[in-house]
Amino acid sequence: MKKVLLVLVALFLVGGGLQAERKKVGLVLSGGGAKGAAHIGVLKVLEEAGIPIDYIAGTSMGSIVGGLYAIGYDAGMLDTLVRKQQWPFLLSNRVYRYDLPFSEKEKDEKYLVSIPMIGGKGIQVPSGFISGQNIYSLFSELTIGYHDSVSFLNLPIPFSCVAANLVNGKEVILDQGNLAMAMRSSMAIPGVFSPVVMDTMLLVDGGIANNFPTDVGKAMGADIIIGVDVSSELRKMNELNTAIEIVDQLTSFMGMAKYEDNIKLCDIYIKPDIVPYSAASFSAVDIDTLILRGERAARAQWDEFMQLKEKIGLTPTEDGEKVIDNKFIRTDSLVIGRIYIHGVGSREEKWVRKKAGLSDYSYISIQDLHRAIAVLYGTGAFSYVNYALSGTDVYDLTLILKERSMSSLNFGFRFDSEEMAAILLNTTFSHKHLRGFQLSLTGRLSQNPYARVEYSFGNTFLRRASLVYMYKYNDIDIYRKGHKLDNITFSQHTAELNFSDIYIQNCKFVLGLRYEYFDYNSFLYASANDAVKARPEGFFSYHALAHYETFDKRYYPTRGISVKGEYSLYTTNGLHYDHGAPFSALDGSFAAVVPVTNRFSILPSFYGRVLIGRDIPFAYLNYMGGVVGGRYRSQQLPFVGIQHLETFDNTVLVWKAKFRYRIGSNHYAIAMVNYAKDDDRFFDILGGTDLWGGGLSYSYDSLIGPIDVVFSLSNWDKKLGFYFNLGYYF
């Protein structure tokens, strides 16, 4: 009996030893940008076939898919994940406009080119067109639970990825640290994404050193290598037409030394058909096709998978897949313990906490955490805003910030059928990033040029005081019902002291003192009866402004509202106007976007201006006309159908609606109607003059700004008008 037991024990131990000696399978995923979506299709088939994955090595997009798979995202989850992403946003430096501070909203989509400056002196060329902030935030969200410095070899599936050290050009194998940072490093395409600083290394896309790292998989301990290669074949001369194609070709050249040898290390080599797709093929249709092609390529090698299972000791029906339970995948909210902020001083740390709305020992959703990160990054004060969570049930949150220079050189350009060409130049110098003084010099070259100097001090994005001087030369034609009456030229000098508060998100409050001097040079009248009464004179005024705005875009918004009100009290000596009572002006506006369908929206708005007092001077009269408000005079109200600048009575109220239909991704057909009431007295406005107007426009949201072609007509001047614009408004 004892002999029988000994034999059974021996057989059990031998069987257990054989099971323990099962050959290990390594999965290697190449780089390829968007083409890496094919990896997901291959993973679907591997799961269906029951192939065990014991090690994963990847480069660039292969590191992203591989890293997430290693911590529990199965092929189905990855499929859903890659399809739902807003790739144009992720692969950009954009911040949703809702998350921008008001000072940045006012500059948003105004300058065509903005170049940072080092210390306010030299021009700084960015190390990459894309900082990688948005994609890194996504990686951080997806890898919660793996933000601490961990060994990737201890992940549920041991994992390594490849980057390249830009300092010496050598390959760097990343197998420990912060998982999100490792993935971000591996896909930092040189010249496109900013490199990642890690210790003494400057890391970029691993594709330039080892784009298909089967040797890394072997070194990890894999006996069998399944390699999925989505790299492109070398292109011919006539196929190198875009920057992406050229970068893709350079990456292929640089990694060529190891590429052929690494293919030979594969036991199963899978090469999906990725023609004609490129590293930038992130559209929904492209992603869908690439996933299907990966699945098709893997399914064509089904017999090889079955043979592999037999080779490693599994039956065809035996499932060798590991089941990974990653609770963090289901996490949509967090309990925060302590918050640590690195990269700023103690005074700035308090500002960061206030601006982000974060506090110790609080409850926060993942969405709110990412909004806080976006708000900080949107200030423009930081090169990056990263975060790490440590702990299990209660997480300590660490924000890692890197301040950047707020000094910049900015350039804007516009061409239209009214002023012809206009150029806007701006240079901004900042003493410190988050607080201290800021000096801004702005000049516009156009038919009505100006120069503006602003010196401000205080907190950059909360409360500030500013001193402003502006000189403007005006050459204005005044019309009456479409007939030219006057041409007026004059110089305008303006000095202001303003106090602003933008502490509340999407709100701006301003109180200020202003002095304006108007030096009239000449008046050319069509007739003596139309002569404008004006003399050189100066005015002291007090003004207050409140503005709330949540549009997602400055041009062609799809959601949001804007509510604005401003009051100004005008005097000649600070107390009186011409030894009498001061006069005042009240401006207000409301605008909204009402989406009806995905393509059709209605944009209602209401605005107006009321002058209170007698003998209003020429400089502050109500003006209306044109498509763009404030073009010639700051108080100018737009009105579709009135083609030129015209004067109106003391009370003007306008209702307007746009009916906008989007064609394709960024073409628009727009029908516009507006109706105005005009009268000298506010309380008699219902009996005032009726003005009707409308127009049709075609618009294109281009890379260099909006392109608009507008035809309009009104009952006021009864002439068909035409307007063309190219570029941002300023």
- Cβ distance 124 to 408 under 8 Å? no
- Cβ distance 698 to 669 under 8 Å? yes
H-run or E-run covering 625: none
Residues 6+ apart with CB under 8 A from 545: 508, 509, 510, 564, 565, 566
Facing residues of 429 across strands? 439
Tokens of 125: 């060329």
Give yes or no: 79 in active site. Answer: no
Residue found by looking up tokens 């989406």 in the block: 595
DSSP letters, 207-242, are HHHHSS-HHHHHHHT-SEEEEE--PPPPPPGGG--S
Tokens of 3: 């002999």
Facing residues of 364 across strands? 334
* Distance of alpha carbon 545 from alpha carbon 491, whole angstroms: 25
Q: For the chain, first and last CA: distance in Å?
A: 98
Give yes or no: 288 in active site. Answer: no
Instruction: Tell how far CA 524 is from the center of its chain.
Output: 48
* Distance of alpha carbon 247 from alpha carbon 250, whole angstroms: 5
Residues 6+ apart with CB under 8 A from 4: none
Catalytic residue among 205, 229, 486, 649: 205
Measured CA distances, 463 to 101, 350, 496, 542, 703 (Å): 12, 14, 17, 19, 33
Q: What secondary structure letter does DSSP report for 314?
A: -
* Distance of alpha carbon 78 from alpha carbon 84, whole angstroms: 10
* Distance of alpha carbon 173 from alpha carbon 124, whole angstroms: 31
* Distance of alpha carbon 334 from alpha carbon 364, whole angstroms: 5
Tokens of 594: 């009402």
276 preceded by cis ω (within 30°)? yes
Instruction: Tell how far CA 176 is from the center of its chain.
Output: 31
Catalytic residue among 60, 131, 446, 712: 60
Beta strands per DSSP E along 119-267: 122-123, 128-130, 150-151, 159-165, 171-174, 176-177, 191-193, 196-198, 201-205, 224-228
* Distance of alpha carbon 503 from alpha carbon 92, whole angstroms: 27
- Cβ distance 128 to 150 under 8 Å? no
- Cβ distance 69 to 78 under 8 Å? yes
Measured from the Cβ of residue 467, the count of other Cβ atoms closer than 10 Å reads 13
User: Hey, which residues are catalytic here?
Assistant: 60, 205
